[in-house]
Structure formats: C-alpha cells, structure tokens
Amino acid sequence: MKGLFITFEGTEGCGKSTQIELLGKTLRVLGYRVHMLREPGGTPVGEEIRHTLKHSKANVAMTPETELLLVNASRAQLVRETIRPALAVGDVVLCDRFYDSTTAYQGHGRGLDLSLVKSVIDFAVGDTRPNLTLVLHVPPEISAERLLSRQSILPFIRDRMEEGDRNFFARVAKGYDAIAAAEPGRVHVVDGAGPIDIVCSRIWEQVQPVLPRVGRW
C-alpha cells in the first residue's frame, strides 16, 4: 500500500465532516492527491445502501443483523472500487467513518456479538486497514445539542442512525473508548470540543507525523 489511509470516527455531532473538509483542503494545498469519502456510501452502490440504512421510510423495522450486513456490503464495494485503487497509486484517502463505526455502533451500541462483528468486517475489508484513525470526542451534552441543531435545519431529512436513545449513544461512546484502548498505535482520540480552528490544529498534530510516508507531487 503506497498511499495513506486516514479515517475519522466519533459519535453523532462530533464534527467529523467539517474537519475532513478542512484537512482535505490543507493536504491539497501541500500537493497531495486526496480522496474524501464517507460511509456508508462513497460509490453508486454504496449510496443506494446508505439511503436504505439511513433515510428510507421502509427501514423502521430493520434488525441489527441486517444493519451490520448492509453497512459492510457498502464497505466492501468502497474498498474495492475506490480505496484500494487510490492507495495503490500513492494517494491520500480520508474517510468519514470506517469499520470502527461498525464495532462501536452495531457491536457495542446494538449489542451484537463482537467476534461476529469482527468476522463480517474482516470479510468486507480484507487487509485494507487505516494507517491512522482519529476519534473526535465531545461530551454527550454537546453531541445532543449539535444533533438537535442539525435536525432543526429545513428541509428535515430523517436519519435512522440518529434515532437512538441516550443509552444507545452512551454505549457507542464506550465502544470508541474500548477501540482506542485496544489499538493506541493506530487510534488517537482528539478533543472535538471548542472552536473549529483549535480542533483542526489538534488533528494536524496527529496527521503531520504520518505524512512523510506519502510522496508529494
């Protein structure tokens, strides 16, 4: 793998999307070829799955097992269609969520067996693993406040993944804590509270040391 693969993780409202955009712009100014992706989605097939998972009126009765398989179906397509080809030519890939989200949401949050979750993830991604994972952490009250603010924007777009209760999101947050503790070499927790530019600086402190692995153009 010639390129650099960085994933962003965290609970709802942690600021991932904003920070990915800022980091992507910075890296492009520095001369890197950058792909900014999201999960689920990122490919035509994946975007169809994303709609089914998050926005479809028909997904109300979706089971955790179905959720697990659909998320990883989208991921398998993204890995093979986009991520691997980009890394093979030395590009930088920034992804808004990857398999740690599945461990946190479907494993810890939904309560699925973690060994089963891992086996499905392994099948979907093979040996395609992030070089660096940044978990943006914000207190639960900030997460809830940002989520309410986002949901107040018209037109309202329903998102099934945002409909969990406080206990669900508390389990997700604990899941991310467990992931970070288990893989401290790859996973770094970043304080996502505070002004956007301060959070951006915190992220850059984690990203800059890994950039020499990738050539500049």
Q: What is the pLDDT of residues 37-89, one digit of tens each?
A: 999 999 999 999 999 999 999 999 999 999 999 999 999 999 999 999 999 99
Q: What is the pTM of this model?
A: 0.92
Report whether pLDDT(212) > 80: no
Tell me the pLDDT of the chain averaged across its residues.
93
Tell me the C-alpha to C-alpha distance, in Å, between residue 83 and each of 41, 42, 64, 128.
12, 10, 26, 8
Amino acid at 36: M
- Which residues 6+ apart lie within 8 Å of 125 measured at CB? 75, 76, 79, 99
pLDDT of residue 141: 77
Measured distance CA(12)–CA(87) in Å, rounded: 28
Measured distance CA(74)–CA(77) in Å, rounded: 5
Q: What is the mean pLDDT of residues 169-180?
A: 96
Measured distance CA(142)–CA(145) in Å, rounded: 5
pLDDT of residue 12: 84
- Which residues 6+ apart lie within 8 Å of 16 measured at CB? 8, 9, 10, 96, 97, 136
Pick the closest to residue 5 from 102, 127, 114 (CA basis): 127
Vertex 114: Cα angle to 8 and 65 (nearest 5):
90
Q: What is the pLDDT of residues 114-132, one digit of tens each?
A: 999 999 999 999 999 999 9
Pick the closest to residue 150 from 134, 166, 165, 162 (CA basis): 162
Measured distance CA(211)–CA(16) in Å, rounded: 20
pLDDT of residue 153: 72
Report whether pLDDT(214) > 60: no
Q: What is the pLDDT of residues 161-171, one digit of tens each?
A: 888 889 999 99
Pick the closest to residue 214 from 68, 34, 58, 8 (CA basis): 34
Q: How many CB atoms lie within 10 A of CB 155?
A: 4
Q: What is the mean pLDDT of residues 193-203?
A: 95
| DSSP letter, residue 81 | I
Pick the closest to residue 133 from 1, 7, 42 (CA basis): 7
Pick the closest to residue 185 from 136, 130, 126, 138 (CA basis): 130
Report whether pLDDT(217) > 50: no
Q: Report the C-alpha dihedral over residues 20, 48, 146, 67, rounded to 10 degrees.
A: -110
Domains present along the chain, CATH in parentheses: 4-213 (3.40.50.300)
